[in-house]
Amino acid sequence: MAMKKKAKKVVKNVGFVVLALVILSAIVYVTGVIIGEFPNPLKDDVVPEPEPGDVIVFTLSNGGFEQGSTGWAVRHGFNIVSDVFHGGTHSLKSSGTYYSSTEDPNKGDARASWTNSIAVSPGQRVVASAWIKTESSSCVDGLRIGMDFKDSSGSPVKVVDGEFVKWGNDWTYREISGVAPAGTVRINLWLQTRPYACPESGWYDDINLEVIEPAE
Ligand SMILES: [Ca+2]
């Protein structure tokens, strides 16, 4: 009888220890996701580290705007300047603009973007980066880059939004990446300032984008 009781007690204690470990692990994991130490499975893309044998199949040209707007759709709210830059002697300046898709449908998207389609196949890795500077402002958000992975009908199969460089920061580096999902035929790289009507300015420079064919 005593042995049985003792065994029951041991089982109960082990049960408590396991439960405590599970709760502790959950707290550590959730804290990790919140502070950004661990990937958030709902949000973050797991992009493999570079491997020997990876081949870069596309590199963006004129990411520093030294050839003016060549290759870029510089829409309303954007212009090439030579008084502020991160590299070389030019950058892309973003100023407050007005955009309403319902009131003014023909004005066009208030995002600058790389005009030419960049061919990407499923499984290929895309890494893009930019240097961004912003004036001080009480506006929310700021400036960021992002990319849309699109299928043959032009529908996005995946969107990667970069983290904003908030208003009031000197040149700051941002990098985004993603693996092309099934159905991808191309990507669209875009530069976005939010809110569009913020009266202050921001600048983009030294933008890089590589499409990488992973090693076999
Ligand atoms: Ca430049």
Distances (CA, A) of 30 to 16, 27, 33, 44, 122: 21, 5, 5, 14, 31
Token pair in block for residue 78:
């954007």
Quote the ligand 1 centre to 115 CA distance (angstroms). 18
Question: Cα separation of 134 and 107, whole Å?
Answer: 25
Token pair in block for residue 214:
């992973």
Task: Look up tokens 């529908």; give the residue.
Answer: 155
Quote the ligand 1 centre to 11 CA distance (angstroms). 67
> Cα 86 vs. chain centroid, distance in angstroms?
20
Quote the ligand 1 centre to 89 CA distance (angstroms). 5
State yes or no: pLDDT of 113 exceeds 80. Answer: no
Question: Cα separation of 47 and 127, whole Å?
Answer: 9
Give 154-175 pLDDT, tens digit per residue: 999 999 999 999 999 999 999 9
Give 185-195 pLDDT, tens digit per residue: 999 999 999 88
State yes or no: pLDDT of 131 exceeds 60. Answer: yes
Q: How high is the pLDDT of residue 42?
A: 47
Quote the ligand 1 centre to 200 CA distance (angstroms). 20
**% of residues, the chain, pLDDT over 90:** 56
> Cα 138 vs. chain centroid, distance in angstroms?
23
Residue 42 or residue 167, greater confidence: 167
Residue 57 or residue 17, greater confidence: 57
Quote the ligand 1 centre to 139 CA distance (angstroms). 26
State yes or no: pLDDT of 143 exceeds 70. Answer: yes
Quote the ligand 1 centre to 45 CA distance (angstroms). 29
Quote the ligand 1 centre to 66 CA distance (angstroms). 5
Average pLDDT, the chain: 86
Quote the ligand 1 centre to 8 CA distance (angstroms). 72
Quote the ligand 1 centre to 68 CA distance (angstroms). 9
Quote the ligand 1 centre to 86 CA distance (angstroms). 6
**pLDDT band (50, 70, 90) for residue 14:** confident
Task: Look up tokens 């990488």; give the residue.
Answer: 212
Quote the ligand 1 centre to 145 CA distance (angstroms). 16
DSSP per-residue letters across the chain: -HHHHHHHHHHHHHHHHHHHHHHHHHHHHHHHHHHTSS--TTT----PPP-TT-EEEEE-S-TT-TTTTTTEE--TTEEEESSS-SSTT-EEEE------TTT-TTS--S-EEE-S-EE--TT-EEEEEEEEEE---S-SSEEEEEEEEE-TTS-EEEEEEPPPEESS-SSEEEEEEEEPPTT--EEEEEEEEESTT-SS-EEEEEEEEEEEEPP-
**pLDDT band (50, 70, 90) for residue 12:** confident
